[in-house]
Amino acid sequence: MTIQRIEPSGRASKAVIHNGVVYLAGQVGDAEKDIAGQTRDVLDKIDALLEQAGSSKEHVLMATVWLADMADFAALNEVWNDWVIDGHQPARCCGEAKLARAALKVEIMIVAAVAE
């Protein structure tokens, strides 16, 4: 069994690849930004990690989105809708949660297929 870990630290890896699937750790943005800015930061990080893993947003299977406040749902979706590629929409869930730092507004976890 081969497991590849991308950017492991003492606590977690930013991504783990196993059996042609890449699992991304939750990504957060710059806490100084509003919800749109944080969401863009997160999606940029996701794009970069997927590229490192040999994948891309076209291969995303599932996204788990955590918002600190569901009142930000519409603003999140405006940025998300510009990012996701028509015909390649992943399964997605979105919930409200207390995030690791009070200034964080969004965290997104991704599961994607590694491109063949």
Q: What is the pLDDT of residue 53?
A: 97
- Phi and psi angles of residue 109, each rounded to the nearest 5 degrees, phi first: -110, 145
Contacts of 3 (CB under 8 A, 6+ apart): 16, 17, 18
35-52 and 73-83 are packed helices; what angle lies between their axes, rounded to 10 degrees? 40
Q: Give pLDDT tens digits for 39-51.
A: 999 999 999 999 9
The burial of 105, by beta-carbon neighbours within 10 Å (0-12 exposed, 13-18 middle, 19 or more buried), is given as: buried
Q: What is the pLDDT of residue 1?
A: 81
Which CATH number is 82's domain given?
3.30.1330.40
pLDDT bin (cut points 50, 70, 90) of residue 21 is very high
Number of structural domains (the chain) is 1
- Report the 10 Å Cβ neighbour count for 102: 9
User: Which residues span the domain enclosing 80?
Assistant: 3-113
The burial of 42, by beta-carbon neighbours within 10 Å (0-12 exposed, 13-18 middle, 19 or more buried), is given as: buried
Its pTM stands at 0.96
Q: Closest Cα partner for 82 from 53, 39, 38?
A: 39
What number is the average pLDDT over the span 64-68? 98
- Report the 10 Å Cβ neighbour count for 34: 11
